[in-house]
């Protein structure tokens, strides 16, 4: 009887272990796909309502969860405010040294602030610091009024820009991210405007700063502290923007670089700042584990031999003018191809002269290009030269 009871107990234990194992297998989705709830990819579990991880150079989506579902973005909105500002700076329409006078409207903004006073004069660069570091609503409105003439006019610029870069599920109602009916976007759309902002690397000087003090022209200096704590605690993090309102919960567009690779993660609707930072860190680390930077062209390396005559006795070598690194998924190095585009409208080249460019492709898609130069002085053959070469080839038995 005791032996039978022992066998029954062992059988029960084995059944429980089997159920537990099966349950564990069902819970974890296979690598490269999400489970039905859209929450798990491999061993990644994002608690926030929505998320996306992309490799910003190519725009490839590595992970996503409800990435096209609309949510309030809170102060992550200010990525668009900074984008429009940086576009004007880099195009020469506005300077970092331009003086901006804060209005009463800017001063009275609630929420995060850089404590601007009515009539206070600050430079465009100081306002960018106020927006990027302290998430100052007053700084954002002052910048919007300076660029657009009014916040309302600036918001139209924001929505026009959103349409231009493909943010199909976004509608901005203000330049700050303060709660407003219909002020909505998606994690995917935020990734689009974040990628655009990254095309203006000067902004990372501000978004990647943890603390800054602005004292010039102020009776009491103000210390700006970055709301994005990952800038301080996550290796390589240099932006971009956090956000919080009761409606939006905790949001972030976080970017970081390691070993020549940049990753971008967007989190929306996290229940706490700890969950937001944990989810963003987890996604960034996942991206870094999957990608690598490979040098596919080295400065002065031979890229292609170009024959000048039909016999191939006269030729020149196309050489790389610089190194070119490509960010790719690990194991994809064999999927790299390249093609040279040369200037055919000139009669000859001089040694070292730039003669075109070489474009590199990953899986058939452009992923980078560099200029190329000629390794020697070259005089291209004319019609008569080609005729003589053909005749010579006939007598040599080449045809």
Query: What would the two tokens of residue 266 be?
Result: 């967007």
Joined together, the tokens standing for residue 46 give: 């994002």
Chain centre distance of CA 268: 17
Nearest to 265 by CA among 328, 191, 195, 169: 191
* 91 in active site: no
Burial of 392 (0-12, 13-18, 19+ CB in 10 A): middle
Catalytic residue among 135, 191, 194, 281: 135
Residue 113 appears among annotated catalytic residues: no
Residue recorded with tokens 């100081």 = 126
Instruction: Give the largest CA-CA distance in the chain.
Output: 108
State both tokens at 178. Answer: 């303060």
Q: Which of 191, 147, 171 is nearest to 70 (CA)?
A: 171
Which residue, among 192, 210, 222, 190, has the nearest Cα to 76 in the 3D structure? 190
Q: Is there a catalytic annotation at residue 85?
A: no
Catalytic residue among 49, 58, 67, 75: 75
The C-alpha R_g of the chain, in whole angstroms, comes to 29
- Token pair of 185, please? 């976007």
Please name the residue that has the structure tokens 């150079």: 57
Q: Which of 41, 65, 78, 173 is catalytic?
A: 78
- Please report how the helices 78-90 and 151-164 are oriented relative to each other, as an axis angle in degrees rounded to 10: 80
Which active-site residues does the annotation give?
75, 78, 135
């Amino acid at each position: 009887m005791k032996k039978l009871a022992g066998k029954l107990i062992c059988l029960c234990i084995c059944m429980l272990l089997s159920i537990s194992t099966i349950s564990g297998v069902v819970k974890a989705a296979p690598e490269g796909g999400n489970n039905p709830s859209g929450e798990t990819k491999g061993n990644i579990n994002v608690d926030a309502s929505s998320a996306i991880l992309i490799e910003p150079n190519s725009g490839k989506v590595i992970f996503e969860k409800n990435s096209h579902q609309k949510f309030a973005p809170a102060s992550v909105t200010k990525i668009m405010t900074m984008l429009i500002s940086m576009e004007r700076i880099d195009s020469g329409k506005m300077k970092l040294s331009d003086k901006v006078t804060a209005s009463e409207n800017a001063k009275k903004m609630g929420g995060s602030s850089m404590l601007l006073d009515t009539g206070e004069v600050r430079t465009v660069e100081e306002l960018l610091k106020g927006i990027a570091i302290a998430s100052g609503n007053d700084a954002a409105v002052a910048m919007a009024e300076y660029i657009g003439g009014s916040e309302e006019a600036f918001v139209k610029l924001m929505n026009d820009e959103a349409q231009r870069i493909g943010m199909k599920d976004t509608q901005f109602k203000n330049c700050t991210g303060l709660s407003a009916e219909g002020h909505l976007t998606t994690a995917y759309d935020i990734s689009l405007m974040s990628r655009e902002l990254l095309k203006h690397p000067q902004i990372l000087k501000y978004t990647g700063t943890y603390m800054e003090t602005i004292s010039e022209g102020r009776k009491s200096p103000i210390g700006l502290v970055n709301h994005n704590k990952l800038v301080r605690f996550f290796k390589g993090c240099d932006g971009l923007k956090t956000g919080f309102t009761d409606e939006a919960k905790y949001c972030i567009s976080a970017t970081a670089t390691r070993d020549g690779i940049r990753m971008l993660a967007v989190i929306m609707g996290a229940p706490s700042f700890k969950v937001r930072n944990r989810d963003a860190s987890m996604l960034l680390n996942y991206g870094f584990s999957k990608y690598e930077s490979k040098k596919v062209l080295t400065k002065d390396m031979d890229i292609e031999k170009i024959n000048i005559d039909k016999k191939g006795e006269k030729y020149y070598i196309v050489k790389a003018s610089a190194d070119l690194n490509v960010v790719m998924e690990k194991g994809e190095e064999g999927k790299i191809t390249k093609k040279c585009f040369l200037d055919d409208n000139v009669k000859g080249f001089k040694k070292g002269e730039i003669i075109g460019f070489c474009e590199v492709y990953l899986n058939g898609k452009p992923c980078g290009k560099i200029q190329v130069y000629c390794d020697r002085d070259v005089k291209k053959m004319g019609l008569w030269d080609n005729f003589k070469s053909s005749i010579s080839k006939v007598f040599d038995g080449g045809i």
